[in-house]
Amino acid sequence: MTPTAAAATIVTHATTPFDGQKPGTSGLRKKVVVFAQANYAENFIQSVFDAVQPPQGSTLVIGGDGRYYNRTVIQQAIRMAAAHGYGRVLVGQGGILSTPAASHVIRKYGSKYGASGGLILSASHNPGGPDEDFGIKYNIANGGPAPEGVTEAIYARTQTIDRWQTVDAPDIDLDTIGTVEVGGMAVEVIDPVADYAALMEELFDFPAIRALVASGFTMAFDAMSAVTGPYATEILERRLGFAKGTVRNGTPLEDFGGHHPDPNMVHAHVLFATMFGADAPDFGAASDGDGDRNIILGKGIFITPSDSVAMLAANAHLAPGYARGLSGLARSMPTSAAADHVAKALGIPLYETPTGWKFFGTLLDAGLATICGEESAGTGSDHVREKDGLWAVLLWLNILAVRQQPVAQIAAEHWARFGRNYYARHDYEALPTPQADALIAELTASLPGLPGRAFGPLTVATADSFAYTDPVDGAVSRNQGLRVLFEGGSRVVFRLSGTGTQGATLRVYLERYEPAGGTLDAQTPDMLADLIVAAEALAGIARHTARTAPDVVT
Ligand code: G1P
Ligand code: ZN
């Protein structure tokens, strides 16, 4: 850059308030056609800058999952940052930064250059393309999603906004690494993978994993044509020595090849077929659009995310980054209690939080928890402030390299020690909101009368509406899901999705606990049959919604 470049003239555009962001949500997620309306993306970015009031000379990290419209919004965000006193923008080459990599870059360069935050452009596992979804969210200097106070301030600003400001400058070359100048501000195009890969090398025993690979261990990783492709290719194939082709669908595409980049049995069915097929590799994994979710499979076995967080926690000390042990574990309330048994055995606290990664942030910042997980394929640790798909894959690989056992055996030994939490989630999607609200209201009213009542072989022990008090900042969150706990540790949880875009989505979480010595190798649907009947009897799902089966089972 030319250090003497004169600050460019700020251009002010008039605008009007908009209702894009719901209060309290971490960012804005809409169809591309909505984002493409005049002033729309600009209004949100301006609302962020007005709410955050970045100190002069701050650093802003920008990157996204590569979906359609990513580049357009990035160019505009760079110009707007120049008009708001930022001293430096760091942007991933090609506009790419996975969500966990963005979190790391914010943390790393925040300490190098001073106060920092980031704009992450993604709609996670939602499809991409001109007719599909786009999203922007703001992360704060700790690398995590903006907390409620900040998102409320952003929302409040969207209600009064009357102008957005930018500088008059051409688009930069996003594909060439190096530093350019926009309106007196430095824009550094960085390698999106390098910093993240270096962090993974610090945490995990790469030589041990390389030796495992050299011994003939094979793997399939499905990047789903989304952001993890470059990360997985660099780390798995180049640094760890897995064969070329181990990473499938490894080139990020603007429309994810027309698929949903959602790693589940439906959208990652090819990977599931591979892992349950005759020539299955030893290990299988996939990540979502922006790289924060993961699924884990072995030959002929799928490890539920709830089990995965428990198994990772029980074995984390085998990885150099966690050899000192864990300070605590945290899981969202609907996530199975598998992690609880591990926490108990390790003698460390277990925090049960409401659904959503943001609730782990205060625990991680305060050093109360080291590993966190959600049943919805999110796992992570205190190395960043987002969930991290490849991190979970690499911790599994580290454990496999040390234990020298197949995934299925690690699972079997885990259950033999801690017992097994059979688990499934049933989703009823696009319900008319009044029907879903009526179901929840009626069930809520019935909760006090449930303890002691029998549903088939199950007897209710306790029933409540989950409320959470953050142990660090004391913030109270109520109505975070209805939970019915049966004697013996089985459970049904009901809650409405906070991220659905069409009507209401009812999620029913079913969990049956079999203690060590019980039935540990049965089929999950068989083990959950009584709970499914009990869930219907408790909530009257068919009566309220006229649905007799869930749309999605995960
Ligand atoms: C879903 C998941 C939740 C996750 C969130 C964001 O939220 O259930 O665990 O944190 O997406 O990825 P929900 O739609 O259930 O509110
Ligand atoms: Zn995601």
| Atom 3 of ligand 1: nearest residue by CA position | 356
| Atom 6 of ligand 1: nearest residue by CA position | 356
Question: Of 25, 85, 35, 22, which is closest to residue 64 (Cα–Cα)?
Answer: 35
List the single range of 20-24, 245-249, 451-455, 457-461 with lowest mean pLDDT.
Answer: 20-24
Length of the chain: 554
Residue predicted with more confidence, 283 or 5: 283
Q: Is the CB of 501 under 6 A from ligand 1?
A: no
List the single range of 225-234, 294-303, 333-342, 470-479 with lowest mean pLDDT.
Answer: 470-479
- Residue 6 scores a pLDDT above 70: no
Residues around the ion ligand 2 (C-beta < 5 A): 124, 288, 290, 292-293
H or E element in which residue 152 lies: helix 148-158
CATH code for residues 10-190: 3.40.120.10
Quote the pLDDT of residue 229.
98
Report domain extents, the chain: 10-190, 196-418, 420-553
Quote the pLDDT of residue 25.
78
Query: Cβ(390)–Cβ(294) under 8 Å?
Result: yes
Quote the pLDDT of residue 4.
41
- Residue 2 scores a pLDDT above 60: no
Ligand 1: atom nearest CA of 293 is 12
Question: Of 5, 282, 46, which is closest to residue 160 (Cα–Cα)?
Answer: 46
Residue among 376, 428, 466 to mutate when testing ligand 1 (max atoms within 8 A of CB):
376
Residues 6+ apart with CB under 8 A from 38: none
Residue 1's pLDDT band (cuts 50, 70, 90): very low
Q: Name the average pLDDT for the chain.
A: 95
- What are the pLDDT digits (tens) for 26-82? 889 999 999 999 999 999 999 999 999 999 999 999 999 999 999 999 999 999 999
From the CB of residue 38, how many other CB atoms can be counted at a distance below 10 Å?
9
- Residue 3 scores a pLDDT above 60: no
Torsion angle in degrees (nearest 10) through CA of 232, 233, 235, 241: 130
Query: Cβ(388)–Cβ(292) under 8 Å?
Result: yes
H or E element in which residue 396 lies: helix 389-403
Residues 6+ apart with CB under 8 A from 114: 55, 57, 58, 59
CATH code for residues 420-553: 3.30.310.50
Q: Is the CB of 288 under 6 A from ligand 1?
A: no
Q: Are 10-190 and 196-418 in the same CATH fold?
A: yes
Quote the pLDDT of residue 20.
81
Q: Is the CB of 72 under 6 A from ligand 1?
A: no
According to DSSP, residue 233 is labeled I
From CA 435, how far away is CA 438, in angstroms rounded? 5
Query: Cβ(320)–Cβ(206) under 8 Å?
Result: no
CA of 64 to the centre of ligand 2 (A): 11
Question: Of 135, 140, 147, which is closest to residue 65 (Cα–Cα)?
Answer: 135
Ramachandran angles phi, psi of 483, nearest 5°: -125, 135
Residue 7's pLDDT band (cuts 50, 70, 90): low
- What are the pLDDT digits (tens) for 430-439? 999 999 999 9
Q: Across the chain, which distance is largest between two alpha carbons, in Å?
A: 78
Ligand 1: atom nearest CA of 505 is 14
From CA 180, how far away is CA 186, in angstroms rounded? 6
Quote the pLDDT of residue 167.
97
Residue 498's pLDDT band (cuts 50, 70, 90): confident
Q: Is the CB of 305 under 6 A from ligand 1?
A: no
- Residue 115 scores a pLDDT above 80: no
Assigned superfamily of 196-418:
Alpha-D-Glucose-1,6-Bisphosphate, subunit A, domain 3 (3.40.120.10)
- What are the pLDDT digits (tens) for 136-176? 999 999 999 998 889 999 999 999 999 999 999 999 999 99
Residue 361's pLDDT band (cuts 50, 70, 90): very high
What mean pLDDT do residues 187-200 have? 98
Quote the pLDDT of residue 22.
82
List the single range of 5-9, 43-47, 316-320, 486-490 with lowest mean pLDDT.
Answer: 5-9
- What are the pLDDT digits (tens) for 500-553? 767 899 999 999 999 999 999 999 999 999 999 999 999 999 999 999 999 999
Quote the pLDDT of residue 21.
81
Burial of 235 (0-12, 13-18, 19+ CB in 10 A): buried
* DSSP-derived secondary structure for 433-501: HHHHHHHHHHHHHHGGG-TT-EETTEEEEEEEE--EE-TTT--EE----EEEEETTS-EEEEEE-SS-S
